[in-house]
Amino acid sequence: MLPYQMIAGGRFTLNATTVTGVNVPLVGMGEPDFVICRSITGWGEASDAQAIQWWWAKGMTQNSARGILQSSDATNPALTSRILPAAASTADAISYFDTANPPTYAALTATTTNNTTFVVAMASTAGISVGDIVRMYSVTTMQQISGLDFQVTAVTANVSITLGMMASAVTASANTFAASGTAAQVLKFIPGRFYPRYKYIAGITRAAQARVYFTVANDFTPGEIISLRIPEEYGSGAWTSMNNKAARVLSVVNTASESSVLLDLDTSGITSAYSYPTSAVAAAGVSPSVAVPSSSGVVPFNASATVPQQPPGMNLLDTFDNRNQRFIRFGNDLFNTASFTSDVSDVWCWEARKYDDYRIDIF
């Protein structure tokens, strides 16, 4: 009788631009008791020192792991063992989490936040990967973005992160910030997945059909009705006519650098570009500008989102939908242990196992 049964497994490829951690969805019977991952392409590879196997078992702390690494010997790579975290340190190794009850992270310090490219300079980017959500706060000279959530679109390890969706919105909507931020705190977090959700507005175009940009990827759908909440401090008061305005979503964009929706809403008559309040005004207290789900529309069936489905279908099937999910994280430190760095596009396989629950009754 085997002590474990496999509840999930698969493979993943390390990021094609830089080697970072990977989150894999866990669809199975609850929390795993044993997790293992192995490098398919790296195992036995000559002249390339790298990790080839890591494992975690219940009872070990989250974000820890034990592994096997191979040396770069040209003909006979030697094996050595490694434990993460090392003494008196932390690690981004193997962990299990549920988005309804995610782990917490320590805030990291930023030195500058560029006011056009939104590149955030940081001496440590520990634990932050492309696609992660971070909250900026205490942003000196750029308080208008303090407390908002942003999606990370690029990471240069221990140098900077890029908030590319915000940068795209600033360019497209002619939004301007008077000065770059100086000192700031950057807090990574894992948002819950109850649907539908509101989104912070990064920018809005002035057009016969307005495009609304967001700071993170959105989950609005064509045909859905959303409502804008735009305090008077935004756009120098010129956008107050759009406050509480409801409009139908015509199309949705979610790319590596842009999150937006096109609305059946004419903003071409507004006299001033949509813009954030000044840092001083924000420091005194301002509500954020957001788009919120308003009501279900009729699901369209054509690309321009103008012709409804027949028979009609609804965008929102209930007040909310619990889309939270369980994940296993194979963290950044598994692939970037000192002197043992995995290669871009390496393929790894993984398994999650659970203790068998067989019982033997003795009469």
The predicted-structure confidence for 142-164, as pLDDT tens digits, reads as follows 999 999 999 999 999 899 999 99
Whole-number Å distance between alpha carbons of 128 and 242: 36
Position 152 scores a pLDDT of 96
Q: For residue 362, is it within any domain? A: no
Which strand (E) or helix (H) includes residue 283?
Answer: helix 279-284
Say how many C-beta atoms besides its own lie within 10 A of residue 342's C-beta. 21
Query: In terms of domains, do 28 and 119 share one?
Result: no
Whole-number Å distance between alpha carbons of 101 and 192: 8
Query: In terms of domains, do 67 and 146 share one?
Result: no
Query: In terms of domains, do 210 and 317 share one?
Result: yes
Query: In terms of domains, do 127 and 149 share one?
Result: yes
Query: In terms of domains, do 300 and 284 share one?
Result: yes
Q: Which of 138, 157, 189 is the last residue of a domain?
A: 189
Q: Which domain holds residue 245?
A: 195-322
Query: In terms of domains, do 244 and 308 share one?
Result: yes
Closest by CA to 97, choosing from 191, 207, 218, 203, is 191
Query: In terms of domains, do 220 and 279 share one?
Result: yes
Query: In terms of domains, do 280 and 291 share one?
Result: yes
Q: Which of 168, 189, 210 is the last residue of a domain?
A: 189
CATH of the domain at 314: 2.40.30.180
Closest by CA to 293, choosing from 205, 228, 358, is 228
pLDDT tens figures, 163-193 = 999 999 999 998 889 999 999 999 999 998 8
Query: In terms of domains, do 203 and 302 share one?
Result: yes
Closest by CA to 148, choosing from 172, 184, 178, is 184
Q: For residue 278, is it within any domain? A: yes
pLDDT tens figures, 76-113 = 888 899 899 876 677 889 999 888 888 888 899 999 99
Q: For residue 363, is it within any domain? A: no
- What's the number of domains the chain is made of? 3
Query: In terms of domains, do 164 and 204 share one?
Result: no
Q: For residue 309, is it within any domain? A: yes
Q: Which residues contact 62 (CB under 8 A, 6 or more apart)?
A: 95, 96, 97, 103
Query: In terms of domains, do 224 and 129 share one?
Result: no
Q: For residue 361, is it within any domain? A: no
Position 362 scores a pLDDT of 52
Q: For residue 288, is it within any domain? A: yes
The pLDDT tens digits along the chain (363 residues) read 456 688 899 999 998 777 888 889 988 667 899 999 999 998 888 888 999 999 999 889 988 999 999 998 878 888 899 899 876 677 889 999 888 888 888 899 999 999 999 999 999 998 888 889 999 999 999 999 999 999 999 999 899 999 999 999 999 998 889 999 999 999 999 998 888 899 999 999 999 999 999 999 999 998 899 999 999 999 878 899 999 999 999 999 999 999 999 999 999 999 899 999 999 999 999 999 999 999 888 887 665 656 777 777 788 777 778 888 899 999 989 998 888 999 888 999 999 998 876 555 554
What order of strands is seen across the sheet that includes strand 22-25? Answer: 22-25, 326-330, 94-98
Closest by CA to 15, choosing from 154, 135, 124, is 154
